[in-house]
Amino acid sequence: MSARPMNIAAAFDPERVRRDFPILDQLVNGHPLVYLDNAATTQKPECVIEAISNYYRRDNANVHRGVHTLSDRATHAFEQARQTVADFLGSPRPEQLIWTSGTTAAINLVAYSWGRSTLQPGDRVLVSWLEHHSNIVPWQLVAEATGAEVLPIPVTDSGEIDLGALDSLLDARVKMVAVNHISNALGTVNPVQEIARRAKAAGALVLVDGAQSVAHWPIDVTALGCDFFVMSAHKLFGPTGIGVLWGRASLLDAMPPFLGGGEMIERVGFPTTTYNTVPFKFEAGTPNIAGAIGMAAAIDYLATIDREAAAEHEAALLARCLDLAGEVAGLRRVGTPAHAAGIFSFLLEGTHPSDVGMLLDQQGIAVRTGHHCAQPLMDRLGIPGTVRASFSIYNTQEDVTRLFEGIRKAKSLFS
């Protein structure tokens, strides 16, 4: 076996990767597109677009219910996609993968199915101040219905979960700890394995929101030690409207159905109905077949990329970003975690984030502005929002240079 080059990032070729993403080859407002909104959604390679298109051109049919050839082909592709995602997440069995419309739907499924059937008055669910609204509001709604409480795990000024504070909250009343793997607002990489270890020691279950992490490095749900793992395809170079819930088999078996309708039944009758087995028990109605196929195609595409080298490339982009940020007077990075993914959130003195975002867009640079569906975190930090640049495998050092040229230009207009 040949030795890996010393500089892995140098061995990674983002320009080659860029050629796989047709949307990047365009002008926006007269400038070459610099797409830095990857934490919101990633772009799609040609192979994903083709996989979806080919399904509709050749195999379009409903799954599981037909005896004709098109239905057989669609069912095979759909269930093969489940196997592909299961392998990608290190799931012991594909049946532990539930198709959902995305991360938000997956969290709601756990909250309403597990939460409504399990939580009682006085029970507690812990979420961190770093969470996306989709990992807060479903728990609050279920808590209102069951008499449980939702408590925030404190975070430090640098934007990291305070593990000591977590320990002080963990007791017999805590039934669930739900945290994200990476903060979508700050890029903080949370120590979810350690959080899971501490939560399990206190008798709590653990849900990990992996929406941001799956595009950055391989995931092994067993090694993470969580009970539930949720993700979306559209942040993984796949289509919108499709995601998965992975769950521990014994928990999924015990949970009641979340939605009623076709596919999730064994037999419908009066006065009672019996339900299908996992995973179909949670997959009422016609699923997003093309989305599942597109998600599998995205995972197959990632398998062609050296993900360790890609991760180092993204880290180099963030490092260059931080270096250039130090040269801009009045620019303040928001969140300084010791371990961060490719997200750079910042404020520019004398400007509003939305104004900076619009001025960057005029230069063909796409960033995200606002509270990033993390209003409690913004309240904790005492700010209304940030400008967020987020990096992916097809971003380049030139993109970072363009970003800071744009920031300096925006700053000059407010001087």
- Residue ranges of the domains in the chain? 8-44+306-414, 49-302
**Per-residue model confidence (pLDDT) at position 12:** 82
Reported as half-sphere exposure (CB side, CA atoms, 13 A), residue 274 has a value of: 3
Query: Rounded to whole angstroms, how far apart are CA atoms 367 and 390?
Result: 8
pLDDT at 257: 96
Centre a 10 Å sphere on the Cβ of residue 4 and count the other Cβ atoms it contains.
11
Q: Is 47 a catalytic residue?
A: no
State the pLDDT at residue 414. 84
pLDDT of 10? 45
- Residue tagged 């180099």 (tokens): 316
CA–CA gap between residue 79 and residue 200 (Å, rounded): 32
pLDDT at 66: 81
Cβ contact 404:356 at 8 Å: no
Q: How far is Cα 212 from Cα 317, in angstroms, rounded to an integer? A: 17
Position 225 scores a pLDDT of 98
Can you tell me the distance from the alpha carbon of 328 to that of 293, in angstroms, rounded to the nearest whole number? 45
Instruction: Find out if CATH 3.30.930.10 is the number for domain 8-44+306-414.
Output: no
Q: How many other CB atoms sit within 10 Å of the CB of residue 13?
A: 13
β-pair type (273-275, 331-333): unpaired
How high is the pLDDT of residue 2? 33
pLDDT value for 3: 34
The terminus-to-terminus CA distance of the chain in angstroms comes to 57
SS3 188: strand
Let me know: does 196 contact 220? Beta carbons within 8 Å. Answer: no
CATH of 49-302, one of 3.30.43.10, 3.40.50.300, 3.10.20.30, 3.40.640.10: 3.40.640.10
The token duo for 203 is 């008798």
Q: Which of these is catalytic: 47, 226, 321, 373?
A: 373
User: CA-based angle 389:393:93, to the nearest 5?
Assistant: 110
373-to-104, 140, 313, 342, 385 alpha-carbon distances in Å = 12, 15, 27, 18, 10
pLDDT digits (tens, 9 = 90+) for 131-161: 999 999 999 999 999 999 999 999 999 999 9
Average pLDDT, whole number, for the chain? 95
DSSP string, 211-278: TTTTTTS---HHHHT-SEEEEEGGGTTS-SS-EEEEE-HHHHHHSPPSS-SSSSEEEE-SS-EEEPPT
- Specify the pTM: 0.96
Contacts for 137 with CB less than 8 Å, ≥ 6 apart: none
Q: How far apart are CA 258 and CA 175, in angstroms?
A: 20
| Separation CA 331–CA 325 (nearest Å) | 7
Q: What is the pLDDT of residue 69?
A: 96
Predicted confidence at residue 8, as pLDDT, reads 41
Spell out the per-residue pLDDT of the chain, length 415, in tens: 333 333 444 468 999 999 999 999 999 999 999 999 999 999 999 999 999 999 999 999 999 988 899 999 999 999 999 999 999 999 999 999 999 999 999 999 999 999 999 999 999 999 999 999 999 999 999 999 999 999 999 999 999 999 999 999 999 999 999 999 999 999 999 999 999 999 999 999 999 999 999 999 999 999 999 999 999 999 999 999 999 999 999 999 999 999 999 899 899 999 999 999 999 999 999 999 999 999 999 999 999 999 999 999 999 999 999 999 999 999 999 999 999 999 999 999 999 999 999 999 999 999 999 999 999 999 999 999 999 999 999 999 999 999 999 999 999 998 7
Give the pLDDT confidence of 12-70 residue by residue, as tens digits. 899 999 999 999 999 999 999 999 999 999 999 999 999 999 999 999 999 998 889 99
Q: List, in sequence order, every residue forming a beta bridge with 37; answer none if it has no partner.
A: 390
Q: Name the phi and psi angles at 236, rounded to 5.
A: -125, 30
Helix (H) or strand (E) holding 126: strand 124-128
| Closest to 219 (Cα-Cα) out of 252, 246, 179 | 246
Contact criterion met (CB below 8 Å) for 335 and 186 = yes
